Structures are given as C-alpha cells and as structure tokens.
Amino acid sequence: MTKETKLAEVIAVYPNKVKISVDNLDAFKSCDEQLEELKVGSYLEISDDKNCKLIAIIESYLIEVNEDGKRKYIIEANPLGTIIGEKFTRGGDSLTIPPTSVQPAKHDDIDKIYQTSIKDKEKFCFSKLAQDERINVPVNGDKFFNKHFAIVGSTGSGKSHTVAKILQEAISSKNGEYDGLNNSHIVLFDIHGEYKEAFPTANHISADIKIPYWLFDSDELGDLFIESNESNSHNQISQFRYAVTENKKKLNSEQDQNKIYFDSPLKFSIDGVIKYIKNINNEFVNKKNNRTPTTKTGEIIHDRLTKYFEEELEFDKVDSNYVNGPYTGDFERFVLRLENTRHNPRLKFLFENVENMTVEDVLKQFLGYQDSKSNITVVDLSGIPFEVLSITVSLISRILFEYGYFYKKLLDEKSKDCETPLVLIYEEAHKYVPKSDLVRYRASKMAIERIAKEGRKYGVTLGIVSQRPSEISETIFSQCNNFIAMRLTNPDDQNYVKRLLPDTLGNLTDSMPSMQSGEALLIGESIIMPSIIKIDECSPKPSSNDIEYLKIWKEQWKNVDFDNIVKEWKK
C-alpha cells in the first residue's frame, strides 16, 4: 500500500459526495509541502490506477474518537471534476473503483482546472482563488460580457471595487500592439457619484447632462406629465398624445407625415403643446356658427392646430351663443402640472438648451464619441431628482438599446457582425428596477427588462449591481448568466443566490455571511465551476471607502461652512 493510502482512504462514494477517513491529519497535510492549511473549502486529489485524478472540495469534517482515545477525521467532499492528462473536465464518472490514494490537491493541479478550461485568447482575469491566491481565476470573457451578469453583496462587501476592477481590465485589454483606445464601450449608471476617481479619463456626465424631453416615448412622457389616477386622465392622455403628434408633424414637415407617431424620435415644442392644452381648456364655441371656437374679441378659429400651438388666446362668454367647448374646464389641474413640470428648475436638464440637439448628439454624448473619445461613460445620477430618476434611466437605456437594434439592422444589410458591443452597468439597480409595481418605476423597468430579454441579439448587455438581489425584478435576474455574489447577510438574498447553484454545490453559499471584503462566489457559464475568489485590487479606486469615524472623531473640532452647503443644496 502507498503512503497516501495509509494516511487517508475513501470509505464511501455517493453520486454527489465522497467520504474520506484520515488517521494522521498532520502527516496527511504534509503530503503537499506548499499547503498552508487544510480547511473547509480546500481541494483534495483522489486518484485511481489509470492516471485519473478526481478533484473534490472539502464540505465538512467530523472527529471520531475510538475506545483508546485515538482520533480519526472523517472528511466529506464534493467532487468537482477529473483531470486526465493535462485537461480538467467537470464530473467524476471517469474515476474507477476503488480509488487508490487521497491527498491534498497540488498547486499545479488546481491551476490546471482554471487555466486549461479556457483558451488563452478568451481569458479575462480580475481575481484569484480565495483558497490559494497564487492561482489566477480567469473567466471566458466572451461568455461573461455577451450574457448579462450581476454583482451582488451587502454594503461594504466590495461591490464598487469589483465593478471598477472588471471595467479597468476591460478597457485596458488589447489584441496585439496598437496605440490608443481599444474598442470597448461601457455606460455606467453611477447613482452615488463614486466612480469619477476610478476612471479619471472617462466621459463623465453629471451637471452638464442633456436629455431632450422630445426623445421621451409615450410611457416616459406620461410618467412625466400625467397623473394616471385622476378621473379624466384618459382625456388628458388622449389630447396630450394628439397635441404632441400634431406638433411633431408641424415641426418636421420634411418627414413623411403618415409615418410620424406619438413616440417618433422627432422634435416637438413642449411650450406649443402647453399652449394647445390651455386653449382647449379655456375655449368657448359659438353654437350658431357650427360650434366653432370663437375668442373674446370675436375671432373665429377655423384651424385649432395652426392657431393653438402659436399663442395663448383669450376666451370669454360674450353672449348666450357662446358655450363650453368639448374640454372646457377639464384640464385645470393638468395645465398646472404641465407648467410646474416645464418650469421646475431641477428639471432644466430636460428643457433648457436642448432645442438644437440632434439624436446623433445624444448618442455621442452617452457613447463617448465626442471630441474626446472614451471607452467608458459614467452617468452621475446623484444630482437627478428622485421623481424623474426612473424616466431618466429609462430614456438613456431605451435609446442605447435602439441604437444597438438599428446598428445591427444596418450591419445585417451589409452582412457584417456587431462592431461596437455595448455593456450597460446599473449601480444600485434595486432603486429603479425593483419588484414593485408602482407607476414611478414603470418606465425604467420596461426599458431594462426589454434589454434583458432582447439586448444580446443586438450587442447590448447588462451588468446589474445591487445589495438586495431578492428585491430586483425577477425578469431581469432570470436573464443573467453570470453572478459575482459577495458577502450577503440577509437570508432572503442568500437563498436567492443559493437557488442559482446545483444541489451538489449549494453549500458554497453558507460562507457568504462571513466572506471578507473583496471575496466573492463566482458562478455562471463563463467559469468552469463555481469558485470562491478574491477580487484583485483596482487602481485607481472608486471613492466608496468606509469613513474612518473614530480616527476623524479623535481630531480637533472642525468648523462647517453652512452657507456654501445650503447654496449647494438649493441648486
């Protein structure tokens, strides 16, 4: 019998578990001189006489004490796969019975698991094995980015650093020698304004963001201007749609008028639409003149569309022949809401200095194709009012999806593949795509769920980042193929991640509550097997480090500039 067999032997084999008996644990650990420690999560190597090695991961162990006080260790391990020659393959069917030896897996054998499973040109690496940080853990870059992925973890678990590291690697990777930027295209929705330091050369959009209101679709315009629970909201919607559509036709006379619709990406004048709504709310009609709108001065309005868009008219009940029009007095609250929204200083990024913008300008703004080109566009949402956060995210997401859709359509006509695949990263995604059915989340949920279901076909994929995975729309999470699960303390979130794993590996989630910052469980099609990893350090780092309360509190009292704080608050 070999030395290894005397130290440890397989005493039971189940379909998803191997039980091993170890008499002398210290001697067993010394089988691998480089082994630092043996613990739950360590790898074992189980061999047979046909040069086949089964790699298993320790799930648990117990100690048995016999009558003379001698200890025996019983280790339970989950089989991961076999190494035959230099190739690792998932599953353990190739191992013959009985196994001939058991020992701690060698560093080189563990390394083979990750290095031989992915072709060199497809490797994308941002982490190391938590159990042995000498071992890099690459993923298949194509399978990681061309299928939606999610990064989840509680506050302080290292999500922001993980996002930064992955994106830094993506924009720095090159195939061959060339100067300048590579062809990566990423839009990062930064809800806390913490990524500016991590990407100093990125295309940063914050206070200077311009999102033309005329690009909003029907749902977004409705969320912005219409109160859906009012008794006559159906009339508001009907007349608002009619006014917007006709105003688009008026201002885009060079377009085919029969192909202009409410949500066509064409300019219209919100001021003209408000004047129209005001006029139909105030108008009186002359019942003796075919109920034609007639102003206070007696002017007969034969063409509402020509006149009502241009000026706010005065109407009055001059005599008994003047009666209410079809909507007179119905839109008092609607007009007030239209004007309040239009002139809200916090929404000026929607209405001011957007008249001369084109769809091309908007796309270039978010895709980094302006004068100073950039791989990453960081959209700082921290200054966006909460009431329009959803429709802001909705509009940007939707136009980027439609960019991918029409670009793909154009390339198909030329028999070409996607030339500029795009990844959209949503930080704190539970804040605008939750499970909630509230109206204020409707626009962003519809836009992002559409990308989740259809985006891959057009070269647009998602990166969902959240501290509460159980609260995110299931439609979106069900489409994710790769997960980086960091420390999660909430049981609902832990169970959500556990359901993603096969039954044989479900116990890996048991370590999530105790993971260190930067450690994660990596699951998905891009990696050969679920693994506990340690994310590599990113440089530069995002400004999301924990505040050192005690250190700062020990310093001398600091005066606060309240005047400037309040001025910033009022902006």
pLDDT in tens, 478-512: 889 999 999 988 888 888 777 766 555 556 667 77
Q: Is 352 among the domain residues?
A: no
Tokens linked to 303: 């063409």
Report angle CA 140, 142, 143 to the nearest 5 degrees: 70
38 to 27, 54, 104: CA distances (angstroms):
12, 18, 8
Tell me: the pLDDT tens digits for 530-543? Answer: 888 999 999 999 98
Q: For residue range 65-87, list pLDDT tens digits in order.
A: 877 778 888 898 888 888 877 77
Residues 199 and 231 in one domain: no
Q: Do 149 and 76 fall within a single domain? A: no
If asked whether residues 157 and 254 sit together in one domain, one would say no
For residue 46, pLDDT beyond 50: yes
Percent of the chain scoring above 70 in pLDDT: 93
Tens-place pLDDT, residues 260-294: 999 888 999 999 999 999 999 999 998 888 889 99
Beta-strand ranges (E) seen in 417-556 are 422-426, 460-466, 482-485, 519-524, 531-535
Structure-token pair, residue 459: 């070269």
Q: Identify whether 300 is part of a domain.
A: yes
Look at strands 43-47 and 52-65 and give their pairing.
Answer: antiparallel
DSSP state of 391: H
Specify the DSSP class assigned to residue 300.
Answer: B
Radius of gyration of the chain (CA): 32
Amino acid at 265: P
What DSSP element (H or E) covers 277? Answer: helix 270-282
The arithmetic mean of pLDDT across residues 195-204, rounded, is 92
How many structural domains are present in the chain?
3
Same domain membership, residue 206 and residue 89? no
Q: Do residues 379 and 426 make contact, with C-beta atoms less than 8 angstroms apart?
A: no
Q: What is the pLDDT of residue 28?
A: 77
Look at the block and give the residue holding tokens 């590996």.
Answer: 505
Q: What is the pLDDT of residue 221?
A: 87
Chain centroid offset of residue 281 CA: 43
CA distance 273 to 260: 16
CB-facing half-sphere around the CA of 101: CA atoms within 13 A: 16
Closest CA to 268 of 279, 278, 253: 253
CATH assignment at residue 45 = 2.40.30
- Rounded Cα gap, residues 249 and 444, in angstroms: 28
The whole-angstrom separation of Cα 169 and Cα 189 is: 18
Closest CA to 463 of 135, 164, 38: 164
Are residue 416 and residue 548 in the same domain, yes or no?
yes
| 193 and 333 fall within a common domain | no
Domain identity same for 460 and 503: yes
- To which residue do tokens 């006379």 refer? 253
Q: What does the pLDDT look like over 373-430, one tens digit per residue?
A: 999 999 998 888 887 888 889 999 999 999 999 999 898 887 788 899 999 999 988 8
The 3-state DSSP class for residue 40 equals: coil
Sign of the four-CA dihedral 190, 196, 201, 206? positive
Confidence (pTM): 0.85
What does the pLDDT read at residue 1?
40
Task: Indicate if the pLDDT at residue 564 is higher than 80.
Answer: yes
DSSP code of residue 320:
T
Give the CATH number for residue 372.
3.40.50.300
**Same domain (yes/no): 395, 523:** yes
Q: What pLDDT is recorded for position 476?
A: 87
162 and 44 housed in the same domain? no
**Which domain, by its residues, includes 549?**
124-129+133-210+357-553
Q: Specify whether 183 is located in the same domain as 64.
A: no
Is residue 145 a part of any domain in this protein? yes
Q: Which residue has the tokens 């030395």?
A: 3
| The one-letter amino acid at 560 | V
564 in any annotated domain: no
Helix (H, G, I), strand (E, B) or coil at 480: coil
Write down the pLDDT at residue 466.
92
The answer on pLDDT for 470 being more than 50 is: yes
Residues with Cβ within 8 Å of 243's Cβ and at least 6 positions away in sequence, in order, are: 273, 276, 277, 309
